[in-house]
Structure 1
C-alpha cells in the first residue's frame, strides 16, 4: 500500500472512530478495514484513501 506513514498513523474509521487494519484485496487493490463496522475503505494507487462511509465496501 502506497500510503504516507504520517497519514496512516492518524486515520480512523469515519463511522465509529475505531482503528483500521491494512488489507490487500484479491486483485491487488489496497484498502483499510474497520473490523468493528465490517467496512473496507479503498486506497488508490496514488496512496489516497477514500474515507467516505457511502463509498465503503461491506465485508462479506
Structure 2
C-alpha cells in the first residue's frame, strides 16, 4: 500500500538528520512502499498505520540495502 499523506503535511515533513531535507513517498525500488525517503541522505522511514516514524533509529540507511 502506498503512503497516503495530506500533501500539505508532506511539504513540511523533513528528515530528522542534520541535513533536514524533504521527504518523498515510497522507497527506492518500491514506489508503493509504506515509507518516506529522504531526498538528501536516502534514509527510508517507515509509515506505520498512516503515521510516519521519523526517528533516525527506525530508518533504514541506504548503505544497508
Same fold, judged at TM 0.5 (above)? yes
Structure 1: tracts of 5 or more residues without a match: none
| Runs of 4+ that moved beyond 6 A | none
Structure with greater strand share of residues = 1
Aligned equivalent of 1:43, options 40, 47, 53: 47
- State how far apart, in whole Å, the 2-side matches of 1:5 and 1:38 are: 20
- 1:23-58 CA deviation, whole Å, 9 max, x = no partner? 1575x64111113212100112x3100000111011
- State how far apart, in whole Å, the 2-side matches of 1:36 and 1:19 are: 8
In structure 2, the residue corresponding to 1:33 is in which secondary structure?
Answer: strand
Partner in structure 2 of residue 7 of structure 1: 9
User: Which has the bigger relative contact order, CA under 8 A and spacing at least 6?
Assistant: 1
The answer on whether the counterparts of 1:4 and 1:47 sit within 8 Å (CA) in structure 2 is: no
What pairs up with 1:16-31 in 2 under 5 angstroms? 16-24=19-27, 29-31=33-35
TM-score, normalised via structure 1 length: 0.74
Structure 2: tracts of 5 or more residues without a match: none
